[in-house]
Structure 1
């Protein structure tokens, strides 16, 4: 089980060039990563914004929202809603058999094509951010990700922050990372009405 504090935005269409350039040059810095291509399947749960079930390759993952943490005002044009989630995952070599042609035809699962670039930040003793890998660390940190999405040939993009690690209080880290990262954000708007997690986003396609 993994507990996370998160904030995320979704927008339809292609990511604005100014935001993509900001993410590549300011957020990723010297750890610039290419966009990783992947394909996830999400269980369709109409009207449910607090529970998500995802299948990626042979891993089945579920997420439950356990608290709404309030609104963060991160700059004059960036406002978002923070949430606390609990995640469970299991590896199952038979998991892919869930996505049969019959299941796909019924629309019980939604295929989401992703091109994602991300980095993880740790907090140094002096409060500065330390960029590191998103894998192979149990230290408390915050993943920052920019993702381009395709659902039924409909294009979207998402910017997200996910704080995780062995800590009961992840919110201060989420606030510290978002406040520093958004200091160089371009003159683009990230609004409260577009700030939500994957389950609510997926409900738009029901």
Structure 2
């Protein structure tokens, strides 16, 4: 089980070149990460914004929203909603074979293609940042990800921050990393209306 604080934005189309360049140059910097390409299967739960269920690489993952931290203004033109989530994982080699194309065709599960770049920044006591592996979720820090999505043949993209560590520092870790990295974000808006997690995106737009 993993507890996180998260803030995320979605928009239609392809990742804007200015944002892709910012992510490569200022977020990843010299710490080049392998771009991950994969397909996830999400259970569609109409009208549900607080629970996500997906299958990927023989793992069943659930995410439950337990708290809404509220609105964060990370720069004058960068505003989003921060939430607290609990993630659980169950691994079984039979999982993906159980969700056949026939089941997906019924519309209860939807395939989401992803091309994702991500990195983790550890947060020290003096609020300095150190790049690290995204697997180091037990340490104080925050993952930053930029993802190109394809769902029902339509392109979307998402920018997200996912912080973990001790419970009392979850929101602090998120704010520290986001505000630091957003200092060089291009002169583009990230609006409150586009800030939500995967469950709302799936229930409203897919």
Q: Which moved more, 1:153-162 or 1:168-177?
A: 168-177
Separation in 1 of the partners of 2:60 and 2:165? 20
Distance 2:76 2:184 in 1: 12
Structure 1 residues 105 and 137: CA distance shift in structure 2, 3 A: closer
> Does the aligned pair in 1 maintain the 2:124–2:140 contact within 8 Å?
no
State the distance in 2 between where 1:137 and 1:173 align: 12
Q: 1-side partners of 2:124 and 2:101: how far apart?
A: 49
Tell me what 1:185 maps to. Answer: 185
| Residue 30 of structure 2 corresponds to residue 26 of structure 1 | no
**Which secondary structure does the structure 2 equivalent of 1:169 belong to?**
helix
| 2:60 maps to 1:60 | yes
Q: Which residue of 1 aligns with 2:45?
A: 45
Give the TM-score taking structure 1 as reference length: 0.96
User: What's the Cα RMSD here?
Assistant: 1.3
1:173 aligns with 2:173: yes
Deviations 1:152-199 (A, max 9, x none): 110000000001134343111111111111011100110000000000
CA distance in 1, matches of 2:21, 2:164: 26
> Are 1:12 and 2:18 counterparts?
no
Q: What is the count of residue pairs matched by the alignment?
A: 206
Q: Is the 8 A contact 1:140 1:167 kept in 2?
A: no
What's the secondary structure of 1:72's corresponding residue?
strand
Kindly indicate whether the alpha-carbon contact (under 8 Å) linking 1:53 and 1:61 is maintained by their aligned counterparts in 2.
Answer: yes
Counterpart of 1:127 in 2: which secondary structure? coil
Deviation at 1:66, TM superposition (A): 0.6
The normalised TM-score by structure 2 is: 0.96
Any residues of structure 2 matched to 1:68-147 within 5 Å, and which? 68-136=68-136, 138-147=138-147
Cα shift readout 1:102-157 (whole Å, capped 9, x = no counterpart): 21121111100000000000012321110111125521210000000000110000
Deviation at 1:32, TM superposition (A): 2.0
**Deviating 4+ runs (over 3 angstroms):** 166-169
The answer (yes or no) to whether the contact 1:3–1:86 under 8 Å persists in 2 is yes
> Higher mean Cα deviation, 37-46 or 120-129?
120-129
Contact 1:25 1:32 in 2 (8 A): no
Classify the secondary structure of the residue corresponding to 1:111. strand
Distance 1:120 1:166 in 2: 16
Q: CA–CA distance in 2 between the matches of 1:68 and 1:167?
A: 14
C-alpha deviation, 1:14, in angstroms: 0.7
SS for the counterpart of 2:30 is: helix
